[in-house]
Amino acid sequence: MSEISSLAECRDDEEVRAAVAGWIAREVPETWREAGERGGPSLVRTVRTPEQYRQWYPAFARSGLVVPQWPVEYGGLGWSRRLAQTAERMLAPYHLPRLNPLGLNLTAAALFAHGTHEQRLRFLPKIVANEEVWCQLFSEPGAGSDLASLATRAERDGDGWRVTGQKVWTTWAHLADFGVLLARTDPDAPKRKGITYFLIDMRQPGVDVRPLPHIGGEIDFNEVFLDGAFVPDSQRIGEVDDGWRVARATLSGERQMVSGSGSGGVDRIGGSGSRRLINLARERAERGLPYGWDDAGTRHELVRLWCEEQIRGWTNMRVRAGLRAGLPPGPESSIGKVHGSELNQRMQAAAARMLGLGATAWEGAGTDPAAYAESMPPEVRGMLRSRANTIEGGTSEVNKNILAERVLGLPKEPDPWEGRPWREVPRG
């Protein structure tokens, strides 16, 4: 009996605990288990490199525990939310993050909401296994906050489409095998009516990826030039010219992912969470350094951040519960995005402040860009990276407009070009 099928047979919490405990004993390397049981995730990180984790990850994927609430045929276990949470509590000490978060959160959201069974079978299991890495090709130089004004074109070519245009701020495009793509298929329709949603192969001629290094030296973002790249029609999600509706599922998944704890994707984008900051403050107090846990102001600030992080996690759980129940993406993801991104910026700023002058100068910085990035304290790197949080995944301004219109019922801002063909709308 396969690992997935044996775990999928669990029907209550007791069976899940027994089955997951057995899987941990068999599959998680002994040094990782011992570190997790002694000191939790922070100690696991000291005995395991990212590359070792990537090499081991297929064992995690084969278990179905990466996405336990997904159907078995797509790489999950078909469990209820309660059973999945029971398993997650048991896995938590061993720090087993999900790889391929853009595939798990963005691509999967569109496939579950609008894809065919055949498309799900083709792509979802490889997403779970991290065998095909994904990126998102939405934003363009002239279509960021106003995404629907995008100009990348897709034109019919036999049994597929030829795509030409430029995308920008594409996270992990330099690592991706596939991308979710929005392209204009009818320039004579209003801007939201002539867009189609595709799944495009990033490893083909006609796709040129150019990295955009961060201020901290990392490369996450890229610009992507598409010059006649081909997409078979079988990799179109939803109907032709109905891609805006499909994109809403992806955008909701993106907002949920980047809003942090409880999202089921990455913990946060930029820096560590409140527990790590509290541990840092305690370490500083033990060493007699300023801004430690013995400082009342520092303690008050970190406890407040911890409380906000719990609220954020509960909000994200509500979003996930609605999606699992088959409800359409709602404004809750925008609430989580606005609150989570601004909270993470405050959190990383607090971490940098605790370093005092150590956040402005440190040993080994030098003048070489590579050495500078490598020597940067993680708290400073997290603070710098977090500055993008209120832009990526939909700016805070855009998400606040969504909340104003859909939650508070306020009128939309007047648009003199509403309903006009896209080709007639002025663009910068």
Longest distance between any two alpha carbons in the chain, whole Å: 71
The rounded distance, in Å, linking the Cα atoms of 149 and 424 is: 11
One of 3, 140, 223, 254 is an active-site residue; which one?
254
- Of the chain, the end-to-end C-alpha distance in Å amounts to 59
Kindly state the helix (H) or strand (E) to which residue 378 belongs, with its residue range.
Answer: helix 378-386
CB 68 within 8 A of CB 86: no
The rounded distance, in Å, linking the Cα atoms of 129 and 124 is: 9
CB 212 within 8 A of CB 197: no
Q: For residue 162, what are the β-bridge partners?
A: 155, 230
151: number of Cβ within 10 Å: 17
**30 catalytic, yes or no?**
no
Per the listing, tokens 């609008």 go with 114
The rounded distance, in Å, linking the Cα atoms of 25 and 331 is: 41
Residues near 2 by beta carbon (within 8 Å), at least 6 away in sequence: 62
Task: Give backbone dihedrals phi and psi of 237, rounded to 5 degrees, phi first.
Answer: -105, 125
Strands (E), 213-361: 221-232, 236-237
For residue 211, give the 3-state DSSP assignment: strand
Residues near 392 by beta carbon (within 8 Å), at least 6 away in sequence: 169, 171, 258, 269
The catalytic site residues sit at 254
